[in-house]
C-alpha cells in the first residue's frame, strides 16, 4: 500500500478515557523513476515502459503537508445486538503545517470514551485556501537523469487533497493512549511520472518546478496519483 494508517498503543493509560493522537510520515524518499516501493522499501511494481531509457532517480529531502482537519469515526456494536451500538464522530481542526520527515510532534489529539470499537476510520484533509498562498503539499529534492546530472526538483500541490483509512472486525481498545500514524509513500504519488517527461520539462533558474502553472502535464500525473492513493488501510501493533 502507498499510504498506511497505523495505531500504536502507548504504555500510559487514563481512567475511563483514552487519547488518540495523530502523526504523519513520508516514507521511501529515494527510488528509481517508474518504480513503486512498499512501506518497507521493497519493489512492488516496476511501471517503466522502457527500462533502458529510464534509469533516473528521485531523492527527496523535504516533504511538507498543511493539514486542515482530521475526521475520526468509530463504532462499537454490543454483543448479540447490532442495534444497541455506540458511534463516535470527532473532528479535529487545524490548520497545522506538518514536516513529514520529522515525527517529533503530534498533529493533534482527541479523547475517546472507554470502549472496544468494531470499526474505526480516519480522514485527513488539506483544503485549498486554509493556508493563504502556501500549498497544501510540497515536495523538494533532486532528480538524477541517466547522464548522472543532478537537477533540483520542487513539486507544489495547491489543490485540496485528503487521505482516508478504515478497518472493520478488529477492536480498538481505548482504555489506553494510542497514536495514529499516516505514512505517505512518495514512490506511489510519483508512479505515473516518466523520465522522458522529466527530461523534456522546462527548468526555472535551473530548477525543475512542477505546479499547476509550471510543467502542467507532469503536475496532472502527480495530482492523479494523489487521488489514486487517497484510500488506504489500517495496520495496528502494540508498543
DSSP letters for the chain: --EEEEEEEEEEE-SSEEEEEEEEEEE--EEETTEEE-TTS-EEEE--S-GGG---EEEEEEEEEEEEEEEEEEEEEETTEEEEEEEEEEEEEEEEEEETT--SS-SEEEEEES-EEEEEEEEEEE-TTTTTTS-SEEEEEEEE-TT--EEEEEEEE-S-EEEEEEEEEEEEETTEEEEEEEEEETTTTTTT--HHHHHTSPEETTEEEEBTTBSHHHHHHHHHHHHHTSEEEEEEEE-
Grid coordinates belonging to 50: 522502457
How would residue 50 be classed by pLDDT, with cut points 50, 70 and 90? very low
**pLDDT exceeds cutoff 60 at 9:** no
**pLDDT exceeds cutoff 50 at 53:** yes
Cβ contacts of 39 within 8 Å, gap of 6 or more: 1, 4, 27, 28, 183, 185
Number of Cβ within 10 Å of residue 127's Cβ equals 17
**pLDDT exceeds cutoff 50 at 233:** no
The pLDDT score that the predictor gives to residue 91 is 82
Lowest mean pLDDT, pick from 7-16, 183-192, 214-223: 7-16
Q: Which of 193, 162, 225, 169 is nearest to 24 (CA)?
A: 162
CB-CB contact of 100 with 24 (8 Å) = yes
Grid coordinates belonging to 51: 527500462
Cβ contacts of 4 within 8 Å, gap of 6 or more: 39, 165, 181, 182, 183, 185, 232, 233, 234, 235
The CA–CA distances, whole Å, from 58 to 10, 148, 190, 204 equal 35, 12, 9, 18
The pLDDT score that the predictor gives to residue 176 is 63
Q: Is 46 buried (19+), middle (13-18) or exposed (0-12) by CB count in 10 A?
A: exposed
Q: Which of 209, 187, 208, 168 is nearest to 74 (CA)?
A: 168
User: Which residues on adjacent β-strands are paired with residue 179?
Assistant: 8, 21
How would residue 37 be classed by pLDDT, with cut points 50, 70 and 90? confident
**pLDDT exceeds cutoff 90 at 62:** yes
Specify the higher pLDDT residue, 213 or 129: 213
Specify the higher pLDDT residue, 174 or 61: 61
Residues above pLDDT 90, as percent of the chain: 24
Specify the higher pLDDT residue, 160 or 218: 218
Mean pLDDT, residues 58-79 taken together: 85
Amino acid at each position: 500500500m502507498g499510504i498506511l494508517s497505523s495505531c500504536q498503543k502507548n504504555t500510559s493509560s487514563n481512567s475511563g478515557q483514552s487519547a488518540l493522537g495523530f502523526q504523519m510520515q513520508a516514507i521511501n524518499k529515494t527510488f528509481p523513476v517508474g518504480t513503486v516501493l512498499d512501506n518497507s522499501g521493497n519493489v512492488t511494481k516496476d511501471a517503466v515502459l522502457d527500462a533502458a531509457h529510464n534509469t533516473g532517480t528521485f531523492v527527496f529531502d523535504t516533504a511538507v503537508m498543511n493539514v486542515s482537519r482530521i475526521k475520526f469515526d468509530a463504532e462499537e456494536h454490543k454483543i448479540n445486538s447490532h442495534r444497541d451500538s455506540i458511534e463516535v464522530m470527532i473532528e479535529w481542526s487545524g490548520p497545522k503545517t506538518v514536516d513529514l520527515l520529522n515525527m517529533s510532534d503530534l498533529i493533534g489529539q482527541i479523547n475517546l470514551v472507554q470502549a472496544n470499537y468494531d470499526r474505526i476510520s480516519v480522514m485527513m484533509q488539506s483544503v485549498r485556501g486554509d493556508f493563504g498562498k502556501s500549498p497544501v503539499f510540497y515536495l523538494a529534492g533532486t532528480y538524477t537523469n541517466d547522464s548522472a546530472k543532478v537537477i533540483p526538483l520542487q513539486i507544489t500541490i495547491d489543490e485540496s487533497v485528503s487521505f482516508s483509512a478504515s478497518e472493520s472486525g478488529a477492536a480498538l481498545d481505548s482504555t489506553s493512549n494510542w497514536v495514529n500514524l499516516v505514512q505517505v509513500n512518495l514512490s506511489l504519488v510519483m508512479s505515473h511520472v516518466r523520465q522522458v517527461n522529466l527530461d523534456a520539462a522546462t527548468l526555472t533558474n535551473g530548477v525543475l518546478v512542477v505546479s499547476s502553472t509550471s510543467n502542467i502535464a507532469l503536475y496532472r500525473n502527480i495530482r492523479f496519483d494523489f487521488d489514486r492513493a487517497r484510500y488506504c488501510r489500517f495496520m495496528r501493533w502494540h508498543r
